[in-house]
Amino acid sequence: MQKDRLPSSFAAAVIGGGKGTRLAAHLGGASKWLLRVHGRTIRDRQLELLYSLTGELLFAGGDCTRTADIPPQVRCVPDMLPVGGPLAGLHSALFHAAADTVLVLPCDAPHPVQALLRHLLCLAAQWPDAPAVVPRQADGFWMPLVAVYRRSCVPFMETLAQQGIPHVFRLFDLLEKNGTPAVAPPMESLRRYDAGLNTFVNINTPDDLQALQHGSPRPVPSLAARPQRWQRS
């Protein structure tokens, strides 16, 4: 088995954010995807990287009426599940993608590292029957928005929605109970591909943005104590 082999076919999806109320003064009504960090928008940074990996790109769960935000080569797919949040965005990406396998990123992560994303894709190729490859911290906290999912997750996501459960973390419990657990590479093992784990740093508050502008992103371990930072808000 070749450990550096990518899946034969895969898409990439950027998971849209919410209204960005905490960043309203910086957004001016625009999407967080258009935030500028060191002179470049997050959108441009992410698309340059993702297009180097695949030709099928989606923007899932955002506002598809903001046509100026979304380039024509990116297909925007709105939420389908009533629960909203990241779960609905992930579901929409998997439902609409032509490929069975989908690499995902949050729209407010300005520094994704190609080597780390390629590694997650290689793990998906190594484990073709696994429904997902999702990094996990030592304390058990999942990092669900920098991950690889397969379409087989869709019915489990729909089950959660039918139960009124919006939390994507519950998906991994269902997969485990079904006997098809997600592959969970330890976060620390990913430093081999992204020494500072900068891929997982996202922007939700003015303080986050200011820290990144000054070149000092807040450390990833703090996310474990603040899971709401990975909610779409």
pLDDT at 4: 81
pLDDT at 161: 97
pLDDT at 69: 80
Q: Which of 134, 225, 229, 145 is nearest to 187 (CA)?
A: 134
| CB-CB contact of 61 with 232 (8 Å) | yes
- pTM of the predicted model as reported, rounded to 2 decimal places: 0.88
3 state DSSP class of 149: strand
pLDDT at 101: 98
Question: What pLDDT tens digit does each residue of the chain (233 aa) get?
Answer: 456 899 999 999 999 865 544 554 555 555 788 888 888 999 999 999 999 999 999 999 867 776 668 888 999 999 999 998 899 999 999 999 999 999 999 999 999 999 999 999 999 999 999 999 999 999 999 999 999 999 999 999 999 999 999 999 999 999 999 999 999 999 999 999 999 999 999 887 767 767 766 665 555 543 433 343 333 43
pLDDT at 112: 96
DSSP structure class, residue 148: E
DSSP structure class, residue 39: T
Residue 185's CB: how many other CB atoms inside 10 A?
Answer: 19
- In one-letter notation, the amino acid at residue 104 is V
pLDDT at 215: 65
d(CA 18, CA 230): 11
Alpha carbon of 29 to those of 80, 144, 175: distances in Å? 24, 27, 38
pLDDT at 18: 55
3 state DSSP class of 105: strand
